[in-house]
Copies of this chain bind each other. A is one copy, B any other.
Amino acid sequence: MDLLKPNPANSCPLTPLTFLERAATAYAESTSIIYNATTYTWSQTNRRCLQLASSIASLGIKRGRVVSVVAPNTPAMYELHFAVPMTGAVLNAINTRLDARMISVLLPHCESKLVFVDKLFLPLLVQAIAMFPAGTKPPALVLITDDEVSSSTTVNFHHTYEDLVKRGNPDFTWVRPDSEWDPMVLNYTSGTTSSPKGVVHSHRSIFIITVDSLLTWSVKRHPVYLWTLPMFHANGWSFPWGMAAVGGTNICLRKFDVALVYDLINRYDVTHMCGAPVVLNMLSNFPNAKPLKNPVQFLTGGATPPAAILLRAESLGFVVTHEYGLTETDGMVATCAWKPEWDKLTALDRAKLKTRQGVRTAGVTEVEVVDTHSGELVKRDGLSLGEVVVKGGCVMLGYLKDKETTSECIRDGWLHTGDVGVIHSDGYLEIKDRLKDVIISGGENVCSLEVEEVLYMNDGVVEAAVVARPDEFWGETPCAFLSVSGEVVEEKEIVEFCRERLPHYMVPKTVVVMEELPKNSTGKIQKGLLREIAKSMGSLSGNAN
């Protein structure tokens, strides 16, 4: 038995790129992409990707080099998810919401050789390149144009996207990875410009997250997938490759617009879509929203969806699956797997259960919650807080050029997510906060999210963020930053409001009202900055005493 070793017929590297090759045969004449007046079949998409890959290779892009793209969810963005790794290069999809300064840090950081840039984002990119550190060679640019956005450009382009496709060789032999551990994609997570965190995934991890996500979400053959989730967010949670595996139709769109989304759902009989809870919120709050003709599977994650939003969305016909994942896993590692016996509950109770992150997906080996001090698994009591840790084939190789952060994140055999959660008695995970946002007051853990939830219940509160303020006596106390609507809200009033709804130690001891809370380029409230402000206020007890 011991003599039987891996052999060349079974140890060929796992890679999701084979899905496209197969789609060209299995789904040859089925529609792969619809975008405005453009429609492709899978045999055309395969051909276009081969041509594009051959042109990229002919530009001298070598195995392991980085090729970037700054584009919305257009057909070009979709095709690049195949064509770039088909040359052996690493795809780096850049968040189009970043500012020029940030991009001017990222591109030199990954030594990007070639950047595909959508017409609309050309000014942003030109500005970013102008900000490159002196002596840094700028990457070559390829302009992506399409029938929707027209603009004239004064930049002299060597290449345009469609030219590269046109002049490429459809019989190109795509470059298979030498090893399934070869890097395939690079995604920067939002962070400060001082230390960009570039998450690198291998062909193997992308293969695993892709098949796992299809399986866990029960995606059948020939879905109609609407691209509401940006592909630059963790590669659209792996679904660019997933759609090739199941012969789906990709409905592309430039920009999230509620009326357009409803129009596309009806026009193309959309079956599947993804998005953050805020997308679900916009869809269900749309004044003209009518119940859907056919149920639409909606995968949501990135933040916990409030029960009220789930309730409203489901009443319109969205069948919501709540997932939990990270850029470090390129997609979901847990879902709130629905139990048939829950169907009997009231709609509100069902929605409340669905806010839980749930149970690991079929392909992920382990998701656990461990005590941050002892490293032991926490009790399954729904109360014991700990850090969520993950182990599985979809975990990243690491952060690019950052050994230190990589080994802080991956240690003791686990990926440390930085999320704090509990495990309920039925084994279901519920995320409570970000680890760094937990406030430790008098030895008690205060989850900032739980305090914020109560603050949001106050009609006057528009935005709320709770962080730790140093305290000589308690160690830390909760400090609330708010933006409010209408009349002036009194600090005392807010404290009183919280006292009626929260244990004493969780009530904010400080309330600061701002015009608007500071946010980063992806729209997230900058709690780090607020923490700095709270720190600068000094110790509360120290001041008071």
Contact = CB atoms under 8 A, between A and B. Distances in A.
A341 interface: yes
B10 A394 contact: yes
A63 B326 CA distance: 35
Interface string A427-464: 11000000000000000000000000000000000000
A153 B160 CA distance: 81
A28 B222 contact: no
Contact of A428 (B5, B25, B341, B414): B25
A200 interface: yes
Contact of A7 (B24, B66, B212, B397): B397
A534 interface: no
Given A29-B339, A214-B215, A394-B10, A365 B18 contact: yes
Taken together, the copies of this chain in the complex come to: 2
Nearest to A358: B26
A106 to B, nearest CB: 15
Interface centre among A27, A64, A360, A393 (most CB of B within 10 A): A393
Interface string A141-173: 000000000000000000000000000000000
B215 A9 contact: no
A1 B183 contact: yes
Q: How large is the interface on A (under 10, 10 to 19, 20 to 34, 35 or more residues)?
A: 35 or more
B396 A25 contact: no
A115 interface: no
A246 B12 CA distance: 27
Contacts of A12: 365-366, 391-393, 413
Given A4-B398, A181-B5, A14 B393 contact: yes
Given A28-B339, A211-B215, A215-B245, A393 B10 contact: yes
Contacts of A246: 215, 218, 362
A317 to B, nearest CB: 19
Contacts of A27: 337, 339
Contact of A426 (B25, B341, B362): B25
B362 A22 contact: yes
A221 B363 CA distance: 14
Interface in A202-218: 202, 205, 208, 211-212, 214-215, 218
